[in-house]
């Protein structure tokens, strides 16, 4: 199949998919169980109806959890108990996710039997879960298989994944080379997460080349020795490289697969095998339980970490058919040295290549990667979507990973999904960093989220889910505030629904801290578990609005992915170590932080876009500006579309370089000339609309983009007086024409004040409101005549600004964050420490407030600390209590009256109505995280795994202050 036919066929599949359209989302009935709306459908097409939904979100807007059925050691009473816990914590649904049991060396399984995936016993537990979830008004999604990527123990050989791997050896001649085929394969035994004992190896290419290598004609072909047990040949005088390409069958096993769904990985490039696997799952379940559509909202696929899979039985034939030449002569020379998940360990593996040859090999490597992506799209993605359609359930997927189209693979899915992280191996800190040099540092969202949400926007989908705040490092050290900040950042990238990662099935009787695979210890034994509902309600309110509006974007960014594929292969794991243009995601961030908004696009999308009135149009989206960050390779047809766009009034900003060549081998010389000719016409004919700008030498992209935006009049709907790296915003258009803006300060350390000027089309003829996501209240916001207002963001704080025609309402009067006449109350507190895990209580006199980790007698504390102080007040009217810096969840009581819980942001309370003249008792109830305590526990193997081996520092805890009281 040629590339043009592939594009057309893909679009037909997308168009025919049973997607969750804009109309579907707007019209969906709101579940009344959690909302208390008496079964009535809420009007989501008006601002008034949306505000009602905001105040009382329906269950399906609340976050779900990934529910790990550890080892499938599940029992009915415990399943019911855990569902009840989740329901009480305001969790809206569960993703049922069988997974392997944590290593027996770190925890006790209590002798509970592990059920086999798809067995009658397993399905009884599945059926019980479906019934109990329905009773509670909760939604169920079900993962396909177990672990990732899926497979099982009984896959026949022809249905197992394959990989080709290179062994390149430097040899100095003259010498006779002799080595067994077995040892050649063993030297590059795939570096996968879980090796498959059933793997077999076959040498498929043997070549000898001089070093350096200038031309393909220099290859000495040794393929005649293929099939022999010993490879032996004479090496001429000089320096050479011997290349052996080895094909491995059954090379890897499912990562963390549960019984019955572990074993060999499925070949995702074998459509028949994919259909057979999927149908076996659905047929087996439905024969026992009836239609899946009666119980399951969506069938889910985790991220496609295929461990480097790059081959299938007919790959050579398919490559020839699609590209017009044979891959085998080039195959050894386009490969790198790889490790786990297919990560490249050495991009310069093998002989040095001359410039002309290197260019040829880049083109072949692109064709290789594109063919692989085509096969995965056609034989896996399309088959999966059709399977879900046939079952009448939604298709939900993290449809990305090494080898997949990063954007197009999410097209067609009902619920495309991204992922956010608490941290990764970089040990960066969300909320404290926002690096310009490294796109990964300080970000909660991952690189892929913008691709996933862009695909959703291109199809008019509003439901974009997220494996939210993946936690494999600081499991016991994550606070609710930390989770909020990271998920807010994901929302800025386009995510509209959270699936927390993750809730571990763990019986009450399991030894402390329980059965743990991953996650932020969503467990009733966590100190902050009673307050988890506050975070879930916050997310539900926000998502109830994000899912009922369209994100406004009028700039498209074309990442230089085809250049990357040719230069270094596909790099689309959540945190690639190396990218060809590492600042790509910082471009959309900079646009966001200066009052604009962008989506990603792709060559496939551009080729199928139309040009109308100076805009690139695809589905419901239209873009007036296209940014090319160091894009050098582009197809002539797409370059032609860009020329049409510029001629029609569109604007193109090239960063660092102009496009100069076509990516693949076919008709490369002609294609290069066409691209260059088109670029020259645009440069000379439209210099004001087709420009090249250098990237900032100091990597200060925010400041750089502000200058570029002004100089080239790039679109932005909002003027932000003092942009900040931590302050982000997005704009949404709702179905009644009203507008919504979501702001958040993703710094947990510092606040930020800035003047914001909104577009006239937003506020003209409308009133401006602030919707308080934490409380569900709304207040009028006074703009000046120009449509501007000064917004003061505390650490971790966020707000929604709405423009609609609703009348009335009180004006917003935020509490002051400081006062020159403030009275400092930081000295002389009696602090009662109620230890959650040791069951002890002791009171310590604090002469002055401090960080609990800085005192030997409190640094290991975990639980609730009650700070008490008697304060004399002469005039109780209009008084504010400001707790200053607080690390933990706090609840203030004045004279026994509850003033409220605060778990993020400024801890400022209006205490006027609770004060009396004279003496007043102030209590601050402070709930810590549990991690510092766990550092003191010895001889607990599970804690050794997650605490000691991670070498966590002590985290700040307590009311640090200064605590002040002043007039509001």
pLDDT in tens, 25-76: 333 333 333 333 333 346 888 999 999 999 999 999 999 999 999 999 999 9
DSSP SS3 for 349: coil
CA distance readout (Å), 93 to 63, 86, 88, 493, 507:
7, 8, 12, 23, 20
| C-alpha triplet 153, 155, 157: angle, nearest 5° | 125
pLDDT digits (tens, 9 = 90+) for 599-608: 999 999 999 9
In whole angstroms, give the CA distance from residue 770 to residue 568.
Answer: 47
Arithmetic mean of pLDDT over the chain:
93
Please answer whether residues 926 and 867 qualify as being in contact, where contact means their C-beta atoms are separated by less than 8 angstroms.
Answer: yes
Cα–Cα distance measured from residue 815 to residue 229, given in angstroms and rounded to the nearest whole number: 80
Contacts of 287 (CB under 8 A, 6+ apart): none
User: How remote is the C-alpha of 790 from its chain's centroid?
Assistant: 32
Full-model pTM: 0.94
- How many angstroms separate the most distant Cα atoms in the chain? 100
User: What pLDDT is attached to residue 577?
Assistant: 73
Peptide bond before residue 513 is cis, with ω within 30 degrees of 0: yes
User: In degrees rounded to 5, what are phi and psi of residue 944?
Assistant: -60, -40
Give, rounded to a whole angstrom, the gap between the first and last alpha carbons of the chain.
Answer: 71
Spans of the chain, pLDDT less than 70:
1-42, 572-575
Which residues have CB under 8 Å from 335's CB, separation 6+? 164, 165, 166, 245, 349
How far apart, in whole angstroms, are the C-alpha atoms of residue 807 and residue 461? 31
Calpha distance 936→578 (Å, rounded): 38
Of 143, 101, 561, 130, whose CA–CA distance to 366 is shortest? 561
Task: Give the Å distances, CA to CA, from 913 to 484, 821, 822, 880, 894.
Answer: 30, 20, 19, 10, 9
Task: State residue 466's pLDDT score.
Answer: 97
Measure CA 83 to chain center.
26
Q: Where are the alpha helices (DSSP H) in 137-230?
A: 181-187
Structure tokens at 536: 């879930």
User: Please, are residues 44 and 548 in contact by the beta-carbon 8 Å criterion?
Assistant: yes
Q: Do strands 625-629 and 621-623 pair parallel, antiparallel, or not at all (unpaired)?
A: unpaired
**Quick one: which H or E segment has residue 125?**
helix 120-136
Tens-place pLDDT, residues 445-487: 999 999 999 999 999 999 999 999 999 889 999 999 999 999 9
**Surface-to-core class of residue 736, CB atoms within 10 Å of its CB (0-12 exposed, 13-18 middle, 19+ buried):** middle
Nearest to 64 by CA among 503, 507, 520: 503
**Helix 382-391, helix 271-289: angle, nearest 10:** 20
Nearest to 425 by CA among 256, 307, 308, 577: 577
SS3 421: strand
Q: How many whole angstroms from its chain centre is CA 720?
A: 27
Please report the pLDDT score of residue 97 as a whole number: 98
Helix (H, G, I), strand (E, B) or coil at 368: helix
Sign of CA dihedral 732, 725, 760, 713: negative
Which residues, 6 or more positions from 517, have their beta carbon under 8 angstroms from its beta carbon?
A: 68, 70, 99, 100, 102, 256, 502, 504
688 touches 394 (CB < 8 A): no
Give me 514's structure tokens: 């329980």
């Amino acid at each position: 199949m040629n590339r043009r036919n592939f594009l057309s066929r893909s679009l037909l599949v997308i168009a025919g998919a049973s997607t969750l359209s804009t109309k579907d989302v707007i019209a969906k009935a709101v579940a009344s169980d959690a909302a208390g709306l008496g079964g009535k459908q809420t009007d989501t097409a008006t601002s008034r109806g949306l505000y009602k939904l905001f105040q009382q979100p329906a269950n399906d807007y609340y976050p779900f959890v990934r529910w790990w059925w550890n080892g499938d050691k599940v029992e009915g009473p415990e399943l019911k108990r855990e569902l009840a816990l989740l329901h009480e914590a305001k969790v809206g649904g569960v993703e049922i996710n069988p997974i392997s049991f944590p290593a027996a060396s770190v925890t006790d399984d209590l002798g509970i039997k592990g059920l086999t995936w798809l067995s009658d016993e397993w399905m009884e537990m599945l059926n019980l879960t479906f019934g109990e979830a329905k009773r509670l008004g909760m939604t169920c999604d079900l993962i396909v298989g177990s672990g990732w990527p899926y497979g099982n123990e009984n896959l026949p050989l022809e249905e197992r994944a394959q990989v080709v791997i290179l062994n390149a050896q430097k040899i100095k001649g003259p010498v006779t080379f002799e080595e067994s085929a077995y040892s050649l394969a063993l030297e590059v035994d795939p570096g996968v997460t879980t090796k498959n004992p059933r793997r077999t190896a076959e040498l498929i290419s043997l070549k000898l080349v001089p070093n350096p290598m200038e031309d393909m004609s220099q290859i000495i072909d040794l393929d005649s020795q293929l099939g022999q047990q010993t490879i032996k040949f004479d090496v001429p005088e000089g320096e050479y490289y011997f290349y052996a390409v080895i094909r491995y069958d059954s090379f890897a096993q499912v990562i963390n697969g549960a019984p019955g769904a572990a074993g060999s990985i499925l070949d995702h490039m074998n459509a028949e095998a994919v259909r057979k696997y999927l149908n076996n799952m659905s047929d087996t379940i439905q024969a026992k339980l009836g239609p899946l559509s009666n119980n399951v909202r969506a069938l889910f696929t985790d991220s496609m970490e295929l461990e480097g899979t790059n081959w299938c039985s007919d790959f050579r034939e398919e490559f020839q058919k699609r590209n017009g030449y044979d891959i085998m002569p080039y195959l050894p020379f386009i490969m790198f040295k790889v490790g786990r998940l297919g990560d490249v360990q050495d991009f310069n593996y093998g002989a040095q290549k001359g410039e002309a040859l290197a260019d040829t090999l880049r083109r072949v490597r692109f064709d290789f990667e594109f063919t692989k992506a085509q096969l995965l799209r056609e034989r896996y993605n399309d088959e999966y979507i059709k399977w879900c359609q046939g079952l009448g359930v939604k298709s939900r997927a993290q449809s990305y990973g090494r080898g997949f189209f990063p954007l197009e693979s999410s097209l067609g899915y009902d619920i495309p999904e991204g992922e956010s992280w608490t941290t990764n191996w970089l040990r960066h800190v969300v909320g404290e960093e926002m690096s310009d040099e490294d796109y990964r540092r300080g970000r909660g969202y991952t690189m892929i989220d913008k691709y996933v949400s862009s695909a959703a926007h291109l199809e008019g989908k509003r439901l974009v889910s997220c494996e939210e705040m993946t936690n494999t490092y600081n499991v016991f050290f994550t606070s609710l505030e930390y989770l909020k900040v990271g998920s807010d950042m994901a929302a800025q990238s386009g995510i509209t629904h959270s699936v927390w990662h993750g809730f571990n099935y763990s019986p009450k009787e399991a030894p402390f801290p329980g059965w743990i695979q991953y996650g932020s210890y969503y467990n009733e034994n966590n100190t902050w578990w009673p307050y988890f509902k506050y975070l879930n309600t916050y997310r539900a309110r926000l998502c109830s609005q994000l899912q009922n509006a369209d994100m406004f974007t009028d700039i498209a960014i074309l990442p230089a992915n085809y250049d990357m594929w040719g230069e270094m292969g596909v790099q689309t794991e959540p945190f690639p170590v190396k990218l060809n243009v590492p600042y790509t995601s910082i471009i959309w961030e900079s646009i966001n932080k200066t009052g604009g908004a962008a989506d990603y696009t792709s060559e496939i999308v551009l080729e199928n876009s139309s040009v109308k009135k100076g805009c690139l149009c695809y589905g419901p989206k239209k873009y007036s500006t296209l940014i090319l960050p160091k894009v050098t390779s582009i197809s002539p047809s797409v370059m032609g579309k860009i020329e049409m766009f510029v001629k029609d009034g569109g604007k193109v900003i090239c960063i660092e370089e102009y496009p100069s060549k076509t990516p693949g081998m076919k008709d490369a010389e002609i294609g290069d000339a066409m691209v260059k000719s088109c670029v020259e016409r645009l440069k000379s004919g439209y210099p004001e609309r087709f420009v090249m700008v250098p990237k900032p030498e100091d990597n200060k992209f925010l400041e750089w983009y502000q200058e570029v935006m002004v100089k080239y009049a790039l679109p932005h709907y909002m003027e932000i007086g003092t942009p900040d790296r931590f302050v982000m915003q997005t704009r949404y258009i709702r179905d009644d024409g009203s507008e919504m803006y979501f702001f958040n300060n993703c710094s947990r350390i510092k606040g930020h004040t800035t003047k914001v000027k909104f577009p006239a089309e937003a506020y003209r003829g409308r009133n401006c409101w602030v919707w308080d996501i934490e409380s569900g209240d709304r207040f009028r916001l006074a703009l000046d005549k120009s449509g501007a207002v000064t917004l003061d963001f505390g650490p971790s704080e966020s707000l929604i600004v709405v423009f609609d025609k609703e009348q009335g309402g009180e004006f917003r009067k935020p509490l002051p964050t400081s006062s020159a006449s403030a009275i400092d109350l930081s000295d002389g507190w009696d602090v009662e420490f109620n230890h959650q895990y040791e069951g002890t209580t002791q009171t310590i006199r604090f002469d002055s407030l401090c960080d609990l980790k800085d005192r030997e007698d409190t640094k290991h504390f975990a639980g609730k600390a009650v700070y008490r102080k008697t304060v004399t007040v002469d005039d109780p009217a209009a008084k504010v209590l400001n707790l200053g810096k607080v690390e933990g969840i706090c609840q203030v009581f004045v004279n026994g009256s509850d003033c409220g819980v605060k778990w993020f942001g400024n801890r400022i309370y209006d205490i006027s109505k609770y004060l009396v003249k004279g003496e007043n008792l102030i209590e601050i109830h402070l709930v810590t995280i549990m991690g510092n305590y766990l550092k003191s526990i010895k001889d607990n193997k599970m804690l050794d795994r997650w605490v000691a081996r991670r070498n966590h520092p002590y985290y700040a805890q307590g009311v640090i202050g200064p605590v002040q009281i002043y007039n509001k």
